[in-house]
Amino acid sequence: MKNITITLDDKTAAWARVYAAKRNTSVSSLVAEMLQQRMKYDQAMRRFLAKAPVKLNRPRKRYPARDELHDRTRLR
C-alpha cells in the first residue's frame, strides 16, 4: 500500500470524518473505497465503449411504428 497526502478544505474534512465515523471506518479507508469504486466504473465504461455498437433491428426488417412501440392495450 502507498501513503498519499490530500488537501481538503475544513468543511469537507469535517464531513469526511463524520461520514467515516458513522460507518466505523477511517477517512483513509473511505477515500480508498471511493477511488476503487471510481476506478471500477471507469474500467467498465472503457470496456463498454470499446465494443462495437449493436443494431436494434435485423437486416431487411422494418423499424416498429411509433404506435406499435407505445401500444399499452396489453397492459390494461
* Domain-embedded: residue 1: no
* Domain-embedded: residue 34: yes
Category of 27 on φ-ψ map: left (φ > 0), alpha (ψ -120 to 50) or beta: alpha
Domain region containing 43:
7-52
pTM of this structure: 0.65
Q: What share of the chain is helix, strand, coil (3-state, %, to 5)?
A: 60, 0, 40
**Are the C-beta atoms of residues 19 and 29 closer than 8 Å to each other?**
no
* Domain-embedded: residue 64: no
* Domain-embedded: residue 29: yes
Cα 7 to the chain's mean position, in Å? 25
* Domain-embedded: residue 44: yes
Handedness of CA 26, 28, 30, 36 (dihedral sign): negative
Give me the number of domains the chain comprises: 1
* Domain-embedded: residue 70: no
Kindly give the confidence (pLDDT) of every residue in the chain, 76 residues in length, as a single tens digit, with 9 standing for 90 and above.
899 999 999 999 999 999 999 999 999 999 999 999 999 999 999 999 999 988 776 777 787 788 888 888 767 6
